[in-house]
Amino acid sequence: MTGWRHFFAILPDCILVLLGGAVTTIEITLGGLLVALILGLVIALLRRSSFRAVTALAVAYVEVFRCVPVLTQLFVIYFGLGQIGLRLSPLPAAIIGFGLNGAAYLAEIYRSGIESVPRGQSEAGSSIGMTKHQTMVWIILPQAIRVSLPPIGNYGVGLLKDSSIAVAIAAPEITFDATNLINQTYLSTQIYLLMALLYIGMSLPLSHLVRRLERRSRRGVRA
């Protein structure tokens, strides 16, 4: 029990340190998600291009990034790029790595969202004189994104937890700080538990937010 007594004595310091890591975790998650949201949409749209080469490129992107473990991708971006002179700090490297990886997943989510919009919708767009581009922007995408919101939210919650992998490239997120703390205090059980609580504390509000988005976006979706 001495371990626990010691742990409670230094608990405030531990929390403070881990909270610092939590900020980085959130930065990686939100940054990566933002990159993935935008790039994923671009890839999903490129995939529908009428130019075969463009479509093939988009498909290749998705396949490559889905078939390589995200850890490997982080290594390539952090160490690999570093060797050819493009040295990134751990945080931007993690954001880019998770962003590029997530884009492949979100592109697929967007794609199924776009395909879920009935054909009659684009025909109605055509019939009021909209170009394909206008139909996509004003009619198809708003509906596709609503359908995609729940899986995107789930991806975000997953990313929050997976961002702990960034410890491998020394990004100063929670897992990194926890490891450091354990090295100093040897209180592995307690600190890992504390870390788990912090992850729960961050994930729960996020999944709650996702559920609310889901409910709101359901308005007017049928018909």
DSSP assignment letter at 49: -
Q: Give residues 155-184 in contact with another protein (rule: CB under 8 A).
A: none
Question: CA angle 111-27-188, nearest 5°?
Answer: 115
Binder among 51, 67, 83, 133 for another protein (CB under 8 A):
133
Strands, E, within 76-189: which ranges?
none
What is the closest distance, in whole angstroms, from the C-beta atom of residue 220 to another protein in the complex?
4
Q: Is 128 near another protein (CB under 8 A)?
A: yes
Site string for another protein, 91-120 (x = CB under 8 A): ---------------------------x-x
Q: How far is the CB of 55 from another protein (least distance, A)?
A: 17
Is 130 one of the binding residues for another protein (CB under 8 A)? yes
Per CB under 8 A, which region of 20-28, 92-100, 107-115, 128-136 contacts another protein?
128-136
Query: Which of 126, 188 has the CB closer to another protein?
Result: 126
| Binding span for another protein by CB under 8 A among 28-36, 69-77, 172-180, 214-222 | 214-222
Q: Which of 55, 134, 179, 207 binds another protein (CB under 8 A)?
A: 134
What is the phi-psi region of residue 87: left when phi exceeds 0, alpha when psi lies from -120 to 50, beta otherwise?
Answer: beta
**203 lies in the binding site for another protein (CB under 8 A):** no
Neighbours of 167 (CB within 10 A): 20
Q: For the chain, what is the largest distance between any 2 Cα atoms, rounded to a whole number of angstroms?
A: 76
Buried b (16+ CB within 10 A) or exposed e, 26-44: bbbbebbbebbbebbbebb
Task: Single out the residue of 208, 178, 212, 174 nearest to residue 27, CA to CA.
Answer: 174
Size of the site for another protein (CB under 8 A): 24
Among 138, 184, 205, 215, binds another protein (CB under 8 A): 138
Q: By C-alpha distance, which of 176, 169, 171, 173 is closest to 77?
A: 169
Tokens of 32: 């990566």
The verdict on 121 binding another protein (CB under 8 A) reads yes
DSSP code of residue 86: -
> Where does this chain bind another protein (CB under 8 A)?
118, 120-121, 123-124, 126-134, 138-139, 142-143, 146, 219-223
